[in-house]
Amino acid sequence: MTLAGKNFLYDMRELKFVLKEWLDMDKIFSLPDYRDYYSREEIDPIIDTTYRICRDEISLINEDSDKIGAHFKDGKVITPDSFKKAYKTINDAGLGASNADREAEGHLPYTLVQANYEILSHAGLAFTGFWGLNSGAISLIQQHGSELIKQKFLPKMCEGQWAGTMNLTEPGAGTDVGANITKAFATDEPGIYKIKGNKLFITAGDHDLCENFIHLVLARTEGARPGTAGLSLFVVPKYWVNDDGSLGEFNDVITTGIEEKMGQHGSPTCSLTYGENDNCRGYIIGDPPDESGKGQGIAQMFVMMNEERLNTGIQGLAAASQAFNLAREYAKIRVQGTKFTDPKGPKVRIVEHEDVRRMLMLQKSCIEAIRALILKSCYYLDLSHDSEDPAEREFADGMFQISNPMCKAYATDMAWPLIAEAIQVHGGYGYVSEYQVEQAARDVKICSIWEGTNFIQSLDLVGRKFSMNKGKVFRNWLDDIAAFIESNETEKDFEIEFKILKDAFQEYEGIIGQLQNYMQEGKAQMMPLFSTRILHASSMLYCSRLIMDQGLLANKQLNEIGERHPDAKFYKGKIASARFYIKNVLPEIFVIRKVFEIGDTSAIDIDEESLG
């Protein structure tokens, strides 16, 4: 057996544990939007179908994605030939943009949509961008678009014939979206503006898999105020769409090039020019800026951005999971060295070495914790949309609002070092392209940069989410963790783990108290200096709460089925993941608390010339 080829290794048992045993999907399926269409029995057919498509078709194009990639020739973006069939397969199976149509009868709960998206991302990280962004664009138009815009663009976007894109970034304005200078000029036609400007780093902004591109473009109308508050959002098709839905004339949206990147070669990252010939038009979404020059664009765009942040977190999870599965299987067959405790004994597989086992358990526990974080957040998102109880919707929305920055930032921050561990397990083979694990590292790095760099996510959490509704939302989140600890701290099989978790919770409250002290002392610079570390502490605490919940359930299941049952080893693995994460990852909170108390400011005090 060799793992030098391209492989699709995905643990469906773990995903089914999350969906069928841990999350209360019966509660979701009982809601009006789903009760006539789904039940727990439908979970297997849905995700098993996705798994088979990914194993038999999508994973097979991953090598083309990396080695051939997308090319720019004569003003056109050309994808590998194998992409065409794969893209059609995805759409025909209902796994593409149609998943985003939350107004369609029988639409899937978002929790299942994202479970499918993880499997798809696992099969080909670069390929998922072709419909992931389209899904976000569909959601935005459904929530904020006029009936004209919906009727004109949504049908073919949902079918995957047309693709939606997100156009924020400009050459002089990256994360600082408020510095955008793309202009929109009113025309004599109501709601239609001429667009003029440049955008870059537009993922899947042009390619040969779709016949039209529906760009969602942030631009500034005449008289709009500066900064993000003055931005409006426009639907700008590459080809104008006639009243009967047919394609009209070219809309003066020119693709000027694609980026050469370290990874995700199959996903074109485009530079676009709008109105080079003064003939680019777009529909404004919502109303133009008010008398004070305040526009609605950035608030509207956050519908898409929040969805894409979840998608990006899923991609980070999928890449780390793929790398772990490859490392685990490699460790089981690679024979090298003798046991430390038996130096004169026989050569053994590296999975028997202590430090390799540590590296594998670090990956396994973190990946399962991050998966719990993301899918629990999706579960709350479903409740916030579809519950019939207003109080439950409000609570669920608050829990999602707190966890969404963690889903994006913690998942993608952790993916990079976790994949590094997987490469380390492979030794020298992990560094060569013959083995797939090195591609995972190259492909995943963009995920911590996409959709607002992870520092922006930390500011969103610490600077905005903590104070939502006068702190009530954050307090609810803390109370959930505290109640979980109180209800289970005497569990006889996990007393040590819950003691660590309880101590970590107290340390975390100390971090929050220290933050408040700094702010009261006028040391506002301490928030951005430590916000990333506070996000990581928040994520580790919540992941610990969730993975311990899974550990308790796995222990209960194991006690019921006994040691000889085929699932016994799986449940033992879940228990081990919970123990390892609590005892090896969570204690980082104690370090963060101490460092925050020390309050070192040398990073910002040092003269920039002294940086070297």
Residue numbers annotated as active site: 451
- Please give the C-alpha separations between residue 348 and each of 344, 345, 351, 585, in angstroms, as whole numbers: 11, 9, 8, 28
Cα separation, 264 vs 446, in Å, equals 9
Cα separation, 444 vs 214, in Å, equals 26
Which of the 8 DSSP states describes residue 289? P
- Beta strands, E only, 191-237: 192-203, 212-221, 231-237
- What is the Rg, in whole angstroms, of the alpha carbon atoms belonging to the chain? 25
- Look up residue 574 and give its two tokens: 């879940």
Which 3-state string (H, E, C) describes 86-112? HHHHHHHCCCCHHHHCCCCCCCCCHHH
- Look up residue 154 and give its two tokens: 């949504």
Whether 438 and 432 have beta carbons less than 8 Å apart is answered as yes
Whether 231 and 177 have beta carbons less than 8 Å apart is answered as yes
Cα separation, 358 vs 581, in Å, equals 11
Please list the residues that pair with 213 across neighbouring strands: 163
Cα separation, 481 vs 349, in Å, equals 41
- Beta strands, E only, 277-356: 281-284
- Look up residue 569 and give its two tokens: 């080893």
Question: Is residue 166 within a helix (H) or strand (E), and if so which, with residue range?
Answer: strand 162-167
Classified as helix, coil or strand, 599 is coil
- Please give the C-alpha separations between residue 2 and each of 176, 329, 330, 435, 559, in angstroms, as whole numbers: 47, 9, 8, 10, 37
- Look up residue 158 and give its two tokens: 């949902």
| Degrees, nearest 5: CA angle 55-57-60 | 85
Whether 48 and 112 have beta carbons less than 8 Å apart is answered as no
Sign for the CA dihedral angle at 183, 165, 15, 361 comes to: negative
Classified as helix, coil or strand, 201 is strand
Q: Compute φ and ψ for 271, nearest 5 degrees.
A: -105, 130
Cα separation, 102 vs 136, in Å, equals 11
CA neighbor of 309 nearest in space, from 368, 395, 381: 381
Cα separation, 112 vs 55, in Å, equals 18
Question: Is residue 437 within a helix (H) or strand (E), and if so which, with residue range?
Answer: helix 437-444
How do beta strands 212-221 and 162-167 pair? parallel
Which 3-state string (H, E, C) describes 237-282? ECEEECCCCCEEEECCEEEEEECCCCCCCCCCEEEEEECCCCCCEE
For the chain, what is the largest distance between any 2 Cα atoms, rounded to a whole number of angstroms?
87
Classified as helix, coil or strand, 605 is helix
CA neighbor of 124 nearest in space, from 232, 264, 226, 242: 264
